Amino acid sequence: MKVSDWIQFASLLGLVLALFFNYLQSRHISRQTEHQAATTKQATLQGLLAFQNGMAEAIFHDPELAAWHLGAKGIVVSSDLEARKIAFIFLRLNAHEGFFLSHRRGELDEQFWIGWKQTIAADFTVEEYRRTWTVARNYYAPAFARFIEELVRPDLKAAPAEA
């Protein structure tokens, strides 16, 4: 072999090694990006939950605020206790929707979801949940609304829109 052949061989070997290391680096960067995206999603969820908890605290400590909030959604309440109950139902529905959507994206453990789905079904055995749902349905993701109606009572959507 001539010297020029060795140089070409070494150059080709260097190119192959450079491409291989570039591939490894791209895979590493891709994994880092996926991890960062998951971390960002989790931080967003935590922020939304903290916001919801702050709203819950405000509503439960101020029945007039709860009644006003519900009135804006078309729900007239007759007592402070009723306002608090229905506001609590909306907060629970928000949590149910968040877990449902997280499950659809594959972010929840299947065993957790199985149990939570039973919690949703149990909540809807309470008359106030069923009555509130007829008004609340339009405030939630359409896929979540279909899920609720299939899970708990197919005729929920046909019920009158009163709470």
Q: Rounded distance, CA 124 to CA 90, Å?
A: 12
Q: Kindly state whether residue 47 falls inside one of the protein's structural domains.
A: no
User: Vertex 155, ends 97 and 90: CA angle to 5°?
Assistant: 30
Does residue 100 fall inside a structural domain?
yes
Q: Which of 37-41, 51-55, 79-83, 146-150 has the highest mean pLDDT?
A: 146-150
49 vs 106: CA distance, rounded Å? 19
pLDDT value at residue 154: 55
Domain count, the chain: 1
Residue 24, in any domain of the structure = no
153 secondary structure, DSSP code: -
Give me the mean pLDDT over the 52-57 stretch: 77
> Sign of the CA dihedral 102, 108, 112, 117?
positive
pLDDT band at 158 (very low <50, low <70, confident <90, very high): very low
Count of residues in the chain: 163
pLDDT band at 159 (very low <50, low <70, confident <90, very high): very low
Residue 91 within any structural domain of the chain = yes
Condensed to tens digits (0 to 9), the pLDDT of residues 4-42 reads 888 888 888 888 888 888 888 888 888 888 888 878 877
Q: Is residue 53 part of a domain?
A: no
User: Does any domain span residue 41?
Assistant: no
For residue 74, give the DSSP letter. Answer: T
Distance between CA atoms of residues 7 and 61, nearest Å = 80
DSSP at 124: T
Write out the residue range of the structural domain in which residue 136 sits. Answer: 62-158
| Three-state secondary structure readout of 45-56 | HHHHHHHHHHHH
pLDDT confidence of residue 74: 86
pLDDT tens digit string along 92-122? Answer: 999 899 899 989 988 888 999 999 999 999 9
Within a domain: 119: yes
129-152 residue pLDDT tens: 999 999 999 999 999 999 999 998
Asked if the structure places residue 7 within a domain, the reply is: no
